[in-house]
Amino acid sequence: MTAIVDVRGLRKVYSKTRGEPVVAVKGLDLTLGTPGTVHGFLGPNGSGKTTTIRCLLGLIRPTSGNANVFGADSTTSFHRVAHRVGAIVENPKMFPNFSGRKNLALLAKLGGIDSSEIDRVLGIVGLADRDADTFDSYSLGMKQRLAIGAALLKNPDLLILDEPANGLDPAGIAEMRVLIRSIADEGKAVLVSSHQLAEIEHVCDEVTIISQGELVRSGSLDHVRSTEGSERVVVSITNRDSAMNVLNGAGFSALPLPNASEFTVEVGASDTAAITRLLAEQGLYLEGLRVERATLESAFLNLTGGASPPPPGGAPQAPNENGAGQ
Ligand X SMILES: Nc1ncnc2c1ncn2[C@@H]1O[C@H](COP(=O)(O)OP(=O)(O)OP(=O)(O)O)[C@@H](O)[C@H]1O
Binding residues vs ligand X (CB under 6 A): 14, 22, 24, 43, 45-51, 163, 195
Nearer CB in complex with Mg ion: 42/279: 42
Nearer CB in complex with ligand X: 71/310: 310
- Contacting range for Mg ion; rule: CB under 5 A; set: 3-11, 42-50, 129-137, 236-244: 42-50
112 CB-contact burial (10 Å; exposed 0-12 / middle 13-18 / buried 19+): exposed
* 291 and 231 Cβ atoms separated by less than 8 Å: yes
Closest distance between Mg ion and the C-beta of residue 308, in Å? 18
The identity of residue 149, as a single letter, is G
Strands (E), 204-279: 206-211, 214-220, 232-236, 254-256, 262-265
Q: Report DSSP state, residue 61.
A: -
Nearer CB in complex with ligand X: 60/82: 60
Closest distance between ligand X and the C-beta of residue 155, in Å? 27
DSSP β-ladder status, 158-162 and 189-194: parallel
* Contacts to Mg ion from residues 188-207, by CB under 5 A: none
DSSP β-ladder status, 232-236 and 288-292: antiparallel
Nearer CB in complex with Mg ion: 188/195: 195
Which of the choices Mg ion, ligand X, none does residue 51 contact, using the CB cut-off of 5 to 8 A by kind? Answer: ligand X
Closest distance between ligand X and the C-beta of residue 75, in Å? 16
Question: Kindly report the CA angle at 116 between 128 and 118, in degrees rounded to 5?
Answer: 40
Is there binding between residue 50 and Mg ion (CB under 5 A)? yes
How far is residue 314's CA from residue 69's CA, in Å, rounded to a whole number?
A: 32
* 298 and 229 Cβ atoms separated by less than 8 Å: yes
Closest distance between ligand X and the C-beta of residue 86, in Å? 19
- Contacting range for Mg ion; rule: CB under 5 A; set: 46-54, 147-155, 180-188, 285-293: 46-54
* 72 and 78 Cβ atoms separated by less than 8 Å: yes
Which of the choices Mg ion, ligand X, none does residue 143 contact, using the CB cut-off of 5 to 8 A by kind? Answer: none
User: Rounded to the nearest 10 degrees, what angle do helices 170-185 and 140-152 cross at?
Assistant: 10
- Contacting range for Mg ion; rule: CB under 5 A; set: 44-52, 168-176, 214-222, 275-283: 44-52
110 CB-contact burial (10 Å; exposed 0-12 / middle 13-18 / buried 19+): exposed
- Contacting range for Mg ion; rule: CB under 5 A; set: 50-58, 91-99, 106-114, 126-134: 50-58
Nearer CB in complex with ligand X: 50/99: 50
Which of the choices Mg ion, ligand X, none does residue 82 contact, using the CB cut-off of 5 to 8 A by kind? Answer: none
Q: Helix, strand or coil for residue 89? A: coil
Contacting residues toward Mg ion, per CB under 5 A: 49-50
